[in-house]
Structure 1
Amino acid sequence: MSRLIRLVGDVYYSMSLRTKLIISYLLLIVLPVGLLVYFSYMNIHKTVLQQSGLAYLEAIKQAEKNIGYGTETAKAIGDQAQNSYDIQRILKTVSQRELTLSEEIDFFMLLNKNILNYEMIDNIVTVHYFMNGNARFVSSNPNIRNIELLALEPSLRPMLSGNVHEGWFGASDFTQMSFARSDELIYVREIRDLGTLSKTLGYLMLEINSRFVWNIIRDIRLPEGSVIAVTSSNGQLIESEYTANLDKGLFEAVQTEVAGEPSKGIARIKRGLMDYYVVYSAIPSLGWTVHLIMGEEQLGANSAWMTRFLFGLAAVICLLAMTSALIISGTITKRLKRLVRLIRHAEKGSLKTEDNVRGNDEYAQLQRAFNRMSVEIKQLIEEVYQAKISKQDTEMKLLYAQIHPHFLYNTLDIIHWSALRIDAKDIAEVTQSLAKFLRHSLNGGKDHIRLSEELDGVERYMYIINFRYKGSIRLTMEVEAETDEEVMPKMILQPLVENAVVHGIRPKPQRSGDIVIRAWREGDDLLLQVADDGAGMDSERLATVLERYSEGYGVKNVHQRIQAYYGEDCGLSFESAPGQGCRVTARLKPGRIKEH
């Protein structure tokens, strides 16, 4: 996550100011607009779903009324059969005794006429009468059947037990009576004895062409991809042209969802990643329930135009936001680009300024500050130019001054040979040591020498000092192997040795003593130590030794030069006590020399 944040940060900081302004502006406009469009769409879509569901529910109610008008014919036929004197007489007689031949013929003619009259009515396909007794008469006509056949059908058992007096069925509800066709509705009506109204004489069954029902249901305009499922009173699916593409699993989920719910309503079903809606309502006249099953996309199809409008509006707003972002950012960065051009000219040495600076905004303040800076830089350049000329003049003078050391070397060389001619060897040695010491000090203008050269210079210095003190100061060197080739700044040890002579040994009454120079490695560090057995120092003087100035290369100068070359963790350290001499240790880091 932190890596991703760093990557985003790198991309952001690599962008131009104008790009950052455009992105920030668009985020402030596009993000709120996007959220507004999204929540508006969700709210409108939800409202459309509700309104569309209610509209389809109302359409089912209207279909229910129209179907009710169609079923009134069947009920009217049932009422006529129930109240017909001839039907009552025939059913009673057949159930009570054997018929005479003349009665059989008479009853056959009456029933046949009755059946033919009913079958001439629209949508009535076949009329059946079911009765008890008189097997010969019952088998004389295919439209006259024995009640025992009804008992074979589980769906008719509630009616046979007297709990229900009439009912509507689909052909699929009958498993034993094969005469009913799949596209027919079955209306069964109980016929009771008008005398007692408690005895069942028989049953009337009408086979009705179901085309009028499906035509009414078809008038419910459904979006493409939707499915209509119709179930009978016992929950069985009524097969029709609409059930060919019905997902059985989806239908089972629908039945589970609406089970125990009111007779009409709207339900939402989650199946996998899809949301489905079912609008359902019962048709009391048939005992059926109509289910309109459709996906959320089909039910909310009416919100498509609003969706297009909202996203179109969002696109227009984003376009306007982009245009205004380009204009505003261009206005802001245009002046900054002019300032950047002036800065690039300044990098090339052309210090131009913009004279006509208007306003007092941040850019105007920045431009005025740049103008002041350019003027000051011009003045500094002029001063540096003058200083450079002065430096060149000084360097010329130094070149001329180099003649003097050569003259001094030549003079000392003349003294050296003159002393040898008169056999003054001490004077010759001192003169030669002084010449070598001066050459070591100047070193051709170089700042760094090898440790061995530094030690050689110290020996020359001590030879001259002992000429004065008649050899009373003894110098000892303890140098670790291979350290003599280390490169170091010149004139480090000589000032320390001189400090040991002047402040350590000379104050002693005899003016004699020992000086020991040590050199060794400690890790990557090179340590140089000058120890004497002189007068030493008290703690108060020891605490301020690096704060005092002295002429020439004093110890403070040595300490500062070491830190300048090697860093603050290097330099001089002192150990001393009154009457116990002094030890000065210089810590150097040969592998870390700062550039000067």
Structure 2
Amino acid sequence: MIGWIKSRFNDIRFRNKLLLSHLVIALIPILLLGLLSFIQSYRIQMKELRSEAEASLEQVASIMDYKINRYNTLSEFMVLNREFSQIFTKDYDDNYYNMYLDFRDIMEPLISNIKMMDDNIEGITFYTSGELLGIRNNILPIGEFRSQAWYDGFRGRRWVVDGEKLYLVQELISNPKDSNFMVISIQHDSIFGDLDNLSEHVSVHIEDSDQHVIFQENNKRNAVNGLGKKETSDLSLNRSLSSNGWTIHYSLLNTNAYANAMGIFQITLFVIILSLIITFLLIYVISNNFTRRILRLKYKVDKVERNNLEVIIQSSSRDEFGELTNGIGKMLRRINSLISQVYHAEIAKKESEYNRLISQINPHFLYNTLSFIRWRAEKKADIETSYMVSALARFYRTTLNQGRHMTTIEAETQHIKAYLDLQLIMNDGLFDVDYDIDEELLQAEVIHFVLQPIVENAIKHGFVKPDATDYCIQITINRVNEGIKLAVTDNGAGMMPEQIVRLLTSENGGCGVRNVNDRIKLYYGQDYGLAIRSEPGHGTEVSMVIPTSTA
């Protein structure tokens, strides 16, 4: 990772490196200052919120204790009323009149008074296993009480929250054979209503003595996970109620503190951005002035890279940049001198090899051809002899090319056709010739004498089986994206990869082909040259691509 960062940094321009390094140096202390101010502000805000939350929690707990104790007192008032309790333990022996009197004079007035004392009591229900069943619709069998989901066999008094229902369950005085319970149904909001109106930055939930969540703020219920536990917040407080064992949990959200701290941070950020802009402008002016001469030198070196060696690189300054510029200028002038010397020497060398090749080919080929003409003439006189003499004349005329090194594709085509006409007669039609030449390219210029050595090599080394009857040479000249492509393809013996390498580099067996490859690179550049594709037994293709030009 460090290596990758270093590599990317090295690829950045020098002026941008100066800008980046100075900005980083200026940015670090400014960001640290902004971050420190944000953290400090956040801590102060959280401290104030905690203090407010503790006071609010204490107030809420006191109010709830008061409300719950009030209902506990009402419940005890009823239970401790001796006449009321004896109704559930008295043996009436089917004396319903006495039972009626007790209900009319004791039970109903007491219940009515209790409801009048608190409008939030929705109803009072009694569960018994004694003789009172069926007397009133609010007296039910003890079995229904025990079938409630929240009943777990408890005794005494308990507060029960079942969804949105709130009950105060009180065991009544019982005899050994009877079990009696009183259930006071209380409006849910009378106890919990105020908790839904707390600050949006505070989340509250209440757990009973078994750590079951019995209340969660409506607008924050989605903050409770599947186990009924509130997820961890930035600040949590709790307070147990002395009246019934419930525990109030306060979770203080950091939204408000974060928002206040962000306000301070935004001001700091504005100062940071303003400082960075001013710093950037100053650094830009300084670095631009510092790197202007480097950019000018780079611009000239880029021209040299694009083969413009006539660029003058010179400086009148005497500092390190001036010395570097003048040194590069001297080096460029020396390179130009050496290139000129090497170029002219290479041209002379290649032309000497070319002339030597022509001088080797002409006498040898002329001797063989004239001998064959003499033999044919002595054997019989026919028009074929005349044709060969004509072809020979055309061949030598195009071969000499009036001493010029460049020719047109049309002239080069005439030369190779004359050469192949002679070879077909001399080899008794051993092979066929196919021409595929784009006529629009006939006036384009090409180096003279580039196809004949390749065709000669194909006939000499490709067509080695004298009894074969399907040999063929194809001459193709067409346009491609890179320029003009000239190709010679045969279906002869083919070559191994090492033979291809020797053909382009060795003096033995492929002097003509190697000379053509070297001349192409010399005239057109190192990106050009011969391309050979061959496979033993499947023939050979020798091709070249030259830049487009017209005579």
Task: Indicate the structure (1 or 2) with the bigger Cα radius of gyration.
Answer: 1
Q: Shorter-normalised TM-score: what interval?
A: 0.3 to 0.5
Tell me the TM-score normalized by structure 1: 0.44
TM-score (norm 2): 0.47
